[in-house]
A and B are shown apart, each in its own frame.
Chain A
């Protein structure tokens, strides 16, 4: 049935519906107003049947959302013949009808593509539909999904005859052709070649690109011609690379030599992947020997590793000593990737015979290929006359250290160059960590203490401190005292001291308290919260928790001007950022409740944050927490009228009022950081209300608010 007839039919259905509604709802003094019963409508005289394809189309075109929904849910039960009946709805003026039609067509086409026979039927139906519909791009996409020969022919015809659908048709052709047997594409290839001779400009480029995707060998001579004579040389090079025919290699290589173009390089490499092993080796060797830059040489080495033989090995080993770090690295990876024990054996022999630098590199290769072989080779190299080889050996043994090497690591960490001592100590620390994991605490403690004394750099000191933090023994306090001058590791030291203090709560609370107060006074008191790292934040939180558990009153967040006492309400449906709910419209009423998201009633709750950053994590306390919003309120008291900054961090969007005056809004999806948005505001003497609206897409949902004066010093306030 043609679209026009559908429109007429739908029109009358609509008019009858409207008339019925009008008749039933117009107030008549002597009659009651009747409520519309949709179910009755569907089953009564105006019943809309979805038992036929025409009924399906009628229902999809219904002004009633419920009927459209019913229709597209049933669409998958219909065969491909329904396509031509539904397709005209793609031109409907109502976007919701168009949407319903798209869903229905996808379901019909999806069901129709199950067998070859129905795919052919669907192709023909879709093809016909493209001739009666203006907005046909959706049909072209579905046509591509059928993947049939007919679809290919139809799409080619469309690309040649309908300018407005050229791109969509070509896209669909590429999709099918990339997955079809060459025989299927014969007709297409002739058509494309013929068209290629005459197309110009963007269409020519699109045609060349399509040829590369389709990948027929028939295209190669024409693309070669393009490289040599045509305007779209680079596109043709790329297409030749995608086709991968070896006949194009010389042309592509010549282009690369002249232009040093990365697209040409990639094309060459793709073509080379199709060469036989011997030809490939020859190609990669010549690329390696050419002076065409590191990028090409590295790619050549990678290619060589795929077609290598034992004869190739000496060349790759020699490259381990190249002056170029990139080449050395590429050779390393190539040697690691060679599969087969024959290579391992030869590499072991080469390592035994090599000079110092190459020996280190070969030890690394052996270890990367097989840890056991590498370890054996490294053990043998521990007493090598070359310091760099010994360092390499220690490093490799330290990757997964064995207890039998404990004394070796300890001895090596006491003497030698700083580099070798560092590496040896790292191995020793790994063993200490393993002892700790195995609950050999006493031994681990001794090893960590020893490491602290031997460490030359902070990296090792921090590792030792991390281990000592887990143990939390008061024996460590003396070591910490001796390291107080080491400013760069105050945070790990603080963490360790806090852990020790925590363990002393029961046995020696006085000492525990002393430790906490000392940490705060010496290390943390003057840290500005906005400069804190996540690590410092965790340390501050631990410290605050420890101090409070001993009855010490502290509130680091408030010291930084962060508001920690809140009331919050939600969630409400997101709808839009602007959509306002009662908390931002009405006067505050602590006892009020409102309809929130998912039809739940929502009311105000109190929360006091302990975290030093004062971040309120709404996603942990409100549900649902996707595509929703919530409100938060705080009342702060200041002594005088105060000009301040309100510094807000939020995930996601935020709107902020001070005493119901809007000070900030930011409709954004983002992660939270402190002080993301800084806005000036004025607080009046006495109580001031801070009201926030916080929107949420998905994931974390949180906010933090800080008050500072105009010189950015934390504001003093009460609740």
Chain B
């Protein structure tokens, strides 16, 4: 059973000392945020939503009657989605304003305290940073950003303006067994950690679909935003932007971030990155999507190896086709959303009781509630932006090694590739005018 009161010591223990992942020249420290809370203890938190699609509505549907919040407004370039969100709110006896452009929402609703960013990946950085700059806290869906550079800038902005930013890796917050599984690993219940495997299924493929005129309800130009111009294709919107490089990073970012987040948590690597990355992959023969069918990516931290297996034949965990598995000298722990198993080398259960002197990790029962509590009391949330950035970076590092076609060495402190011009170029994707960061 868990102590529901979030210990201040616990979150301090997470942050470590000094600047976090911001490079040697950064002056911004991150032990605690700047406590700019305009939300009183008994006030409701006013929310704005950027993105009213699958995940945006999933959040909205769960929060519309939440005791701690008031949903004020939402934005989406898809008029059908704006209408559906408005109608849904009305069905719950609530009224919300809707806009295409999130900047108009921020301008029109100064009462907004926090913003949920649930857009395709290529919008995460802009919408989050603009919200931060406007004095809002942010709940940003995963992956944190489209590129490593964007992630770094988001962290810097959050620290500069003292904002609470939570990444939407809800496995940490909503499902306590992930925390427990990681505690078992960190407390040496499987001996010394040697290897972590993250497994997921293959990327999808799709036959050729011609470009066409965008539907009348969709502002395609706005949807593209900072991404390079391309004609509308119905495969992109509404759901499969995830499989186009201009907008996302395939399942490696879509699902990989969830699995890597847990891997880093269990391996005590929340504030660092691998030092060497090597990728193998296989493309589909013909495919509208940009990403490989299968891939195997090796990440080397030096003391621990991390592997991403996508659609490979690895003997993973009986009866499971996704998850994170920790391999130690004396046993292994597997965990996914269905639960966890922990066994020693003989296949027998291990001692799972944690004692007084064992390390306890940040625990909460609800990712949403944790964010709202953090907004009020200005403590770092369970998946603070710095942590989220590092988990997302693992996915991006894998994609860079994939497209470059050779192993790459990475400096986890300064976050760049020493002596590798091409890889460094791939850390960012500059924006299409007039969008700029």
Contact = CB atoms under 8 A, between A and B. Distances in A.
Given A179-B421, A574-B204, A302 B337 contact: no
A669 interface: yes
A467 interface: yes
A144 B430 CA distance: 10
Interface in A57-76: 65-66, 68-69, 72-73, 76
A326 B37 contact: yes
A146 B421 contact: yes
Interface in B1-22: 1, 3-5, 7-9, 12, 17-18
Contact of A399 (B9, B421, B425, B431): B9
B204 A400 contact: no
Nearest to A302: B34
A438 B58 CA distance: 40
B422 A298 contact: no
B38 A326 contact: yes
Contact of B35 (A66, A114, A209, A326): A326
A399 B7 contact: yes
A295 interface: yes
A299 B160 contact: yes
A436 B1 contact: yes
- Per DSSP, chain B at the interface is loop
B433 A99 contact: no
Nearest to A177: B430
A106 B29 contact: no
A167 interface: yes
A171 B430 contact: yes
A325 interface: yes
B133 A266 contact: yes
Interface in A652-691: 668-671, 673
Contact of A470 (B1, B160, B432): B1
Interface residues of A, number: 104
Contact of B7 (A202, A400, A626, A671): A400
Contacts of B40: 325
Contact of B8 (A110, A339, A367, A574): A367
A167 B229 contact: yes
A523 interface: no
Contact of A66 (B12, B285, B406): B285
B283 interface: yes
Contacts of A110: 403-406, 422
B150 to A, nearest CB: 13
A298 B337 contact: no
Given A147-B425, A171-B431, A69 B208 contact: no
B239 interface: yes
A113 interface: yes
B424 A147 contact: yes
A700 interface: yes
Interface string A209-253: 100110000000000000000000001001000000000000000
A537 to B, nearest CB: 14
B350 interface: no
Contact of A467 (B1, B29, B34): B1
Interface in A497-523: none
B425 A145 contact: yes
Given A333-B35, A700-B337, A434 B356 contact: yes
A433 B1 contact: yes
A389 interface: no
B70 to A, nearest CB: 20
A302 B133 contact: no
Contacts of B285: 65-66, 68-69
B239 A329 contact: no
A330 B337 contact: no
A49 interface: no
B201 interface: yes
Contacts of B251: 698
A290 interface: no
Nearest to B338: A620
Contact of A368 (B32, B36, B160, B254): B32
B135 A668 contact: no
Contacts of A670: 54, 57-58
Interface in B34-91: 34-38, 40, 54, 57-58, 61-62
Given A209-B436, A333-B33, A400-B7, A437 B356 contact: yes
A295 B424 contact: no
B34 A144 contact: no
A238 B9 CA distance: 38
Contacts of A262: 133-135
A336 B31 contact: yes
A551 to B, nearest CB: 29
A74 to B, nearest CB: 12
Contacts of A382: none
A426 B4 CA distance: 10
Interface in A395-421: 398-400
Contact of A298 (B29, B31, B36, B255): B36
B224 to A, nearest CB: 11
10 contacts: A171-B431, A175-B425, A179-B425, A213-B430, A295-B135, A329-B35, A333-B378, A368-B8, A426-B5, A627-B204
Given A433-B1, A437-B354, A697-B239, 11 more contacts: A145-B422, A178-B428, A202-B434, A269-B160, A302-B28, A339-B29, A368-B8, A368-B32, A399-B8, A626-B204, A699-B337
The 3 closest A-B pairs by CB, nearest first: A329-B35, A113-B422, A147-B421
